[in-house]
């Protein structure tokens, strides 16, 4: 018995369609995995109480941009790697230049988007007075004298009249502590492994002719 096999249709067209389907499936699967990983990492940050701003520092990119490819790749990265790294591993932070870390209170307003330090007060001609630990208070303080608290809860230098009439206050600007220990808040590796393991299934599910083929 002689058996013969033949391919119906244009072989080149069939192969071209298979390649196109593969490019679409891989690209869509990689995008889903990349987006899923990014969102899970963001949820870890917000779930740890670290806020939306830090959560959104997780970003994702798909390559090639604007096209489909069987070599598609996803890249998830963070724009605040030092902060994320500290909470992902757990670290103890100390002041390398002095004995204490100066932690600003709510009365210290950020300047030009950056954190204000005791040095900024000195440069602005605002003297800070050191109050050593005493009693149950185990931390030192840096305070400013002759200030006032506005109705909006902000600290402002008192006027000459206010000082004369005694309508002034001493305001705590910084808390002085020897060190801060950041506990591990989330696990990046476990989330990454989850989406890497799911990638083959995502690619298969994204195959254009999957339903027809089954």
Q: What is the pLDDT of residue 37?
A: 96
Q: Which of 180, 177, 157, 154 is nearest to 168 (CA)?
A: 157
Q: What is the pLDDT of residue 11?
A: 62
Q: What is the pLDDT of residue 56?
A: 95
Q: What is the pLDDT of residue 105?
A: 92
Average of per-residue pLDDT values in the chain: 85
**Its pTM surpasses 0.85:** no
Cα maximum dimension of the chain: 117
Length of the chain: 214
Report how far residue 207's alpha carbon sits from residue 152's, in angstroms, rounded to the nearest whole number.
58
Spatial contact of 104 and 172, defined as CB atoms under 8 Å apart? no
Residue 109, judged by CB atoms within 10 A of its CB (0-12, 13-18, 19+), counts as: exposed
pLDDT tens per residue, range 60-96? 999 999 889 999 999 999 999 988 988 888 877 776 6
Report how far residue 78's alpha carbon sits from residue 120's, in angstroms, rounded to the nearest whole number.
29
Q: Which residues pair with 155 in a beta bridge?
A: 149
Q: Which of 61, 7, 14, 19 is nearest to 207 (CA)?
A: 19
Q: What is the pLDDT of residue 213?
A: 44
Which segments in the chain show pLDDT lower than 50?
211-214
Query: Is the N-terminal amide bond of 64 cis, ω within 30° of 0?
Result: yes
Residue 38, judged by CB atoms within 10 A of its CB (0-12, 13-18, 19+), counts as: buried
């Amino acid at each position: 018995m002689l058996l013969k096999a033949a391919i119906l249709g244009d072989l080149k067209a069939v192969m071209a369609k298979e390649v196109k389907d593969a490019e679409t499936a891989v690209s869509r699967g990689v995008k889903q995995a990349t987006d899923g990983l990014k969102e899970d990492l963001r949820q870890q940050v917000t779930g740890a109480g670290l806020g939306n701003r830090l959560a959104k520092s997780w970003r994702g990119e798909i390559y090639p941009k604007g096209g489909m490819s069987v070599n598609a790749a996803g890249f998830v990265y963070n724009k605040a790697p030092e902060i994320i790294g500290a909470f992902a591993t757990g670290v103890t932070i100390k002041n390398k230049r002095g004995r204490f870390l100066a932690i600003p209170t709510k009365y210290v307003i950020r300047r030009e988007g950056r954190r204000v330090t005791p040095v900024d007060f000195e440069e602005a001609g605002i003297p800070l007075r050191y109050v050593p630990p005493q009693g149950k208070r185990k931390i030192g303080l840096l305070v400013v004298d002759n200030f006032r608290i506005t109705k909006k809860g902000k600290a402002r230098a008192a006027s000459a009249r206010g000082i004369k009439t005694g309508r002034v206050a001493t305001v705590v600007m910084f808390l002085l502590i020897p060190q801060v220990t950041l506990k591990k808040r989330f696990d990046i590796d476990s989330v990454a492994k989850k989406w890497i393991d799911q990638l083959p299934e995502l690619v298969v599910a994204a195959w254009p002719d999957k339903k027809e083929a089954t």
